[in-house]
């Protein structure tokens, strides 16, 4: 599924929350669960399953997750190098050193659907894009990594999990995959 911006990666509402949920976009089987959730402000590829073992496999550190990240400012080679080597972020009040990852600048703007809401006006300064591929998935990790490198995230889109790519999916669209085990290997 292409999880849209502003959608919660869950199926049941919490009391007093009036947010879009995954079930608002498609009629999923009753026991469907999101694998590797995306927060409210993030968008992109979200795998859904009714099989707990598939969920376990996707969360394994051997499966890469790639994100396109629009950041505040023109990202530098130094910031990319910091993220590649691993850097210190804060998780639940504790310092955490991220594992080394793949990171690179993206020249221009990647081909993605519009978010439906402006990121910000150009008078507030330039923005740039980077690709960050991690094998771990800590809470808001990629956002914290870009901020720790000096470039806060403005937009975050997951574009790949293993060999499964977002492709031409549009926000809210769902497709069914066969043979997920082969698609997860990198």
Give me the active site residues, please. 39
Instruction: Count how many residues are written for the chain.
Output: 186
The β-bridge partners of 43 are 157
The β-bridge partners of 158 are 44, 67
Burial of 76 (C-beta count, 10 Å sphere; 0-12/13-18/19+): middle
Q: In this structure, are residues 98 and 45 in contact, taking their beta carbons and an 8 Å threshold?
A: no
- The separation between the first and the last C-alpha atoms of the chain, rounded to the nearest angstrom, is 20
How far is residue 89's CA from residue 8's CA, in Å, rounded to a whole number?
24
Neighbours of 32 (CB within 10 A): 14
How far is residue 121's CA from residue 169's CA, in Å, rounded to a whole number?
27
């Amino acid at each position: 599924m292409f999880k849209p911006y502003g959608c919660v990666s869950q199926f049941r509402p919490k009391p007093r929350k009036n947010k879009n949920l995954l079930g608002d976009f498609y009629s999923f089987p009753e026991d469907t669960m999101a694998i590797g959730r995306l927060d409210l402000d993030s968008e992109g590829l979200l795998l859904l399953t009714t099989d707990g073992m598939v969920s376990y496999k996707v969360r394994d550190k051997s499966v890469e997750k790639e994100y396109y990240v629009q950041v505040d400012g023109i990202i530098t080679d130094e910031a990319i190098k910091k993220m590649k080597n691993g850097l210190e972020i804060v998780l639940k009040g504790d310092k955490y050193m991220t594992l080394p990852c793949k990171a690179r600048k993206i020249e221009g703007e990647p081909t993605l659907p519009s978010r439906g809401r402006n990121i910000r006006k150009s008078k507030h300064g330039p923005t740039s894009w980077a690709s960050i591929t991690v094998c771990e998935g800590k809470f808001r990790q990629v956002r914290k990594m870009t901020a720790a490198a000096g470039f806060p995230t403005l937009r975050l889109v997951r574009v790949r999990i293993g060999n499964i790519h977002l492709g031409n999916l549009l926000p809210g669209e769902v497709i069914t995959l066969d043979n997920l085990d082969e698609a997860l290997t990198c």
